[in-house]
Amino acid sequence: MFNISTIAYCLNATWLQKGSDDVIEHLLIDSRKLLFPESSLFFAISTLQRNAHDFLDELYNKGVRNFVVDNEYSLKPTINNANVLQVSNVIDALQLLTAYHRKQFTYPVIGITGSNGKTIVKEWLYQLLHNKYNIVRSPKSYNSQIGVPLSVWQMHPNNTLGIFEAGISMPHEMDKLQKIIQPTIGIFTSIGEAHSEGFDDTAHKVEEKAKLFEGCKEIIYCKDNAAIALAIESKCNTCHLFSWSKKDGATLSITAIQIQHYNTVIKAIYQNRKVSISVPFTNDAAIENAITCWCVLLHFGVDDETISAQMLQLRSVEMRLELKQGVNNCSVINDSYSADINSLTIALDFLQQQQQHDKRTVILSDILQSGKKNVDLYTEVASILIQKNINRFIGIGTEITKQQAVFSSIPQVHFYTSTNDFKQHFPSLHFNSETILLKGARVFEFEQISHLLEQKVHQTILEINLNAISHNLKIYKQQLAEGVKLMAMVKAFSYGSGGFEIANLLQFHKVDYLAVAYADEGVELRKAGITLPIMVMNAEDATFDVLVQYNLEPELYSFEIFNGFDNYLLQSGISNYPVHIKIDTGMKRLGFELDEITTLCNKLKETTSFKIQSVFSHLAASDNAEHDAFTQEQATTIKEGCQLLQEAIDYPFIKHIANTSAIHRHKNLQFDMVRLGIGLYGVDAHTTVQQQLKNVTTLKTTISQIKKIKKGQSVGYSRKGLTNEDATIATVRIGYADGYPRVLSNGKGKMLVNGKLAPVIGNVCMDMTMLDITNIPAKEGDDVIVFGEALPVNNLAHWADTIAYEILTGISQRVKRVYFEE
């Protein structure tokens, strides 16, 4: 921690305003994640879409008095007695400050880079070394130009080892990260295709990543990759190299990798002696990551017996927060794999995004090996929980129970010395209509609690990656001209992905509008705490009362609906109600025709019922170059209609016509707002854009039974599946009642079984489907991917002779949705 005057000197900043010489303990870049106003320094990092300086007033009103701004900012009279530091580049200032902070410590720091495996290696090293060292490490996957500074800022005199990961996507980025991390030990995990766009070739990317190791005393790497070996061995002349290889000539030479049923035995030669470990994993990536960790332990001088015992205890790294439906109308966020202050804060941010319940509950275990005195540690935890407005807190463990007095300001508190103690009292806790965060160290086995809280589900589930939605939203926002608003389409259960869960995320990311198809969808969002403006695209007479009750904004597309809603509002004594006018420019579905606009204008002049929020239309073929001329005709029509309407009313309104494809194919049609639909969920007709999007949904099921059948035997109804040879058939728990199209029967459809495509054999049944898994190793209970990143939903749509929209929106509600954030 530093005084603000020291920080100003470090940054060579200009004082726009000078207040008290506050001590800064926390760095803040997101106004929504404020915890400790008095000791926080806000870095106003703006983007093309959002000016961070717009949030200074909000933060000031919440008690923040320390700010770093750029040269574009002019001090406002609303900011008084604060410290406002002006710099030329706010991100550079953040990096400069944390690099200065890093220089205050002399204990070893491990810097990890590579295309894959960074987070796994970091977390495994924590598992392997935390009993010997007080470790500070990157939270989750904080490895970017902003994530690394925030990670390094956590360094504290009580720590004895730092472990930080660094990722780059462009040349010269690693130069900045190296100055922040200043590693004494370097690890290069692997090289792959991820983030290759900014580099000339693989060798260039390796060379840039290797810049992290400047000044390292030790570098650990795999010698089998020629590009990595060349980059490290040619430039690192003064440091010690610790290599591993499946060939001779390395520090650790792997002689055998024996993959068994549930574990892998790895044998090697180290310092002319035979050594071996066993790890509880069988996939190639995990084996390579484990060998890298083995090298680190050998470097630290850990004895063979201890290494063998610890490597066998390695656990999978859970990289995501999961949101599931719970008992008694609860929602459960399961992060029951680790417990520390940093990951708790991240999990609480995710909890705060959830608006579906007024009541929020946190169940937390003892936080182990924090390096802080327990009274200080749990006082800080209690302060964070109070800032996050937690309604009920349940502490589990002997140490947290001893400190229960510091949690007294939370409305409801309960403490139990063990998980079993909690389970015995579970019926008396009466969980109902609340969002519950589970956060526990592994040894507390909180999976027992999650089993009690989570609703029992059908083994066919649809996983929704909330990080991917956030990423896709950012991709399209980057296409927008300055000042263009964004309406997100969440109709049809958010294209099958879920209603309020997706809307919560979009509200958190401050989109401007939501749109639903029918009023009942909007009502559910309002009941779940969504406060964004919501346009209803298919309003009906029978729903006028709920439109008004829940402040939903209808689309008026005909004189019938116009007159009906006008009369309803007049009878209710309501004026200036927000509505949206739709003009039919060629879709020939809903909307006023251009020759009806004059009449519409006259009717608008005659009533005070409406306040026109927007005027819009729907493009028929914006994704197809063949119809670009027609698209431009539609644009001309909407402009004419808007001009007539603007002349008739004396206030401005939003104009919009661009859908997902038009956002990037017809940028001249972005107008005042765009409507983002299927692209948000990872599907775009344009190949270049599709490659930038991340997969959002993964539909997966499991194998319920495997049968061996003889040549000539039939499979399924009507004996449609006939085998030409002996075959192995797997029955999986998904059918047409779950949304798997029956048209994919008899070999048209395929699913992924342990990474291999298995064709459907016979007819798809209501609740089950049979796959031919001949020559595919599998066992009952194995996961099966119906669609996902490795098997895109577009493939299924192609096989079924339909579109991805139909597949996604057709997934049955009995298929449980599991939401996760990595």
Task: Give the span between the Cα atoms of 569 and 611, in whole angstroms.
Answer: 12
Largest Cα–Cα separation, the chain: 95
118, 439, 477, 491: the catalytic one is: 491
3-state SS, 315-358, equals CCCCCCEEEEEEHHHCEEEEECCCCCHHHHHHHHHHHHHCCCCC
Number of CB atoms found within 10 A of residue 417's CB: 16
Task: Give the span between the Cα atoms of 280 and 264, in whole angstroms.
Answer: 6
Joined together, the tokens standing for residue 219 give: 């570098």
Joined together, the tokens standing for residue 172 give: 């010269």
Nearest one of 569, 531, 554 to 616, comparing CA atoms = 554
Task: Give the span between the Cα atoms of 766 and 294, in whole angstroms.
Answer: 50
**Residue 20, φ and ψ in degrees, nearest 5:** -75, 155
Task: Give the span between the Cα atoms of 217 and 239, in whole angstroms.
Answer: 5
β-pairing, 273-279 with 135-137? unpaired
Helix or strand holding residue 218 (H, E)? strand 218-222
- The answer to whether 538 and 563 are in contact (CB under 8 A) is no
Q: What share of the chain is helix, strand, coil (3-state, %, to 5)?
A: 35, 25, 40
Asked if 717 is an active-site residue, the reply is yes
Number of CB atoms found within 10 A of residue 125's CB: 24
- What type of residue sits at position 597? I
Look up residue 284 and give its DSSP letter: H
Number of CB atoms found within 10 A of residue 109's CB: 22
Asked if 577 is an active-site residue, the reply is no
**Residue 716, φ and ψ in degrees, nearest 5:** 85, 180
Query: How big is the chain by its Cα radius of gyration, in Å?
Result: 29
Nearest one of 668, 663, 657, 670 to 688, comparing CA atoms = 663
The residues that are catalytic are: 491, 717
